[in-house]
Amino acid sequence: MKLSSIRFWWWAILGLLLVCLPTLGTLTPNTVESDVAALVAFGPRVAGTPASEQARTYLIEEYRQAGYMTELGRFTYPKFEDLGSTLRVEDVTIEGRALESSAAGQLSAPLVFIPGVGRPDDFTTVDVTGAIAIVRRGEIPFLEKAKNAATAGAVGLVIVNTSPKPLFGMLGDEVNIPVFGLSGEQGEPLLQKASTESLRANLNVNVRRQTVTGYNIIAHLPDVKQPKILLGAHYDSVPKSPGANDNASGTAVVLELARRLANTPQSHQAWFVAFDGEEDGLRGSKAFVNTAEPQFLPKLQAMLNFDMVGVNDQLFVGGSESLTALAQKADPKISKIRDTGNSDHQPFSAAGVPVAFFYRGQDPNYHSPGDKVVDPKLLEATAQVAQSVVRYQLESASNP
């Protein structure tokens, strides 16, 4: 081959390498920060939606890159969905949310203020026959308010939150009238006006029921059939919220822990799970627990759950005394909280598994379109504490 030809091919190969350099750069391992950014970019990860599928594909690939195999735990459940419900009074349209299990309906009727909180006696002082009743939240369950309103003859019910925030509620059983929730900010002025004036309202409760298919992502080394520790977080979010803190933050922390533990003995004793359907009532974690092999849960020493750990400096831990003590050993600044069981550790706890729930408190952007940003330093700090808890727990189990 001539020297000129050699030079030509040498420069051609060099040029090709230079062109490929930006692509090669994308092979840099991801971090908790980039994981959150990737999940947020998919949009609201509502169970059963294309965004959820995109998130699932991303997480499976990241676990594979970290050296783990993945399984999908498929489950189905009925879901109640609000497609956009409104209340219109005096040419002003107010957006709210139907309470879960509410009947659908479009009504035009008088809006009648109910004194008290909606007990049977409260309806005896007013005539709600053929009317839409409006009442404050509190003291008795939503379902009881709705049944009392229907018994008194109301054709619809509006419940006003006692805080300025939107009302997200569940009736717990089906009722035959539309039940609509308003924030205190929107509803309190309307309550006051309805208590002194005759008003007419148009209530549109636009809801549907459907069957949703969810998928838990279960990552582990091929030889780990029975873990001693399970680390989990839910990857789904609510409609209209990209869910950076709730709960891409926890999902990213679990993935980061899987990466950190990949080449340690702890990886041979752990499973990592991204739960789906948490926002619809802990559906994924309940399905996991309900379908586990009989010996699986009794042999599980600990379940660590991470939910909303990317906002607020203070890290809280709730759950079993033994595990919360290990968390405080890892970081004495951690505060204990009373566990309300409102996240994916609850089904495990109910099945007798020791649990620890890591959480950083309420987020001002909770369940809103503004949930877009987390602090990577807080995620790193949470992962560091959790890694120590995993080590302490496995050491204590091997040296009783």
Domains annotated for the chain, with CATH where assigned, are 32-78+211-398 (3.40.630.10), 84-205 (3.50.30.30)
C-alpha separations of 271 from 30, 229, 284 in Å: 20, 7, 15
Please tell me the predicted confidence (pLDDT) of residue 17: 38
Q: Going from the first residue of the chain to its last (400 residues), give the mean pLDDT of each consecutive group of 10, the final group possibly shorter.
A: 45 41 46 96 97 98 98 94 90 90 92 92 92 92 93 94 85 88 91 89 92 98 97 95 97 98 96 96 96 97 98 97 97 92 94 98 93 97 98 82
Which pTM value belongs to this model?
Answer: 0.77
Q: Where are any strands of DSSP class E within 114-226?
A: 132-136, 156-160, 179-182, 199-205, 207-220
Peptide bond into 148 cis (omega under 30): no
pLDDT number for residue 25? 35
Question: What CA–CA distance (Å, rounded) separates 195 from 115?
Answer: 8
d(CA 341, CA 327): 18
Q: Give the whole-angstrom CA distance, residue 234 versus residue 173.
A: 26
How far apart CA 344 and CA 182 sit, in angstroms, is: 28
CA dist 81 to 12, 25, 74, 85, Å? 58, 42, 21, 11
Three-class HEC string of 207-221: EEEEEEEEEEEEEEC
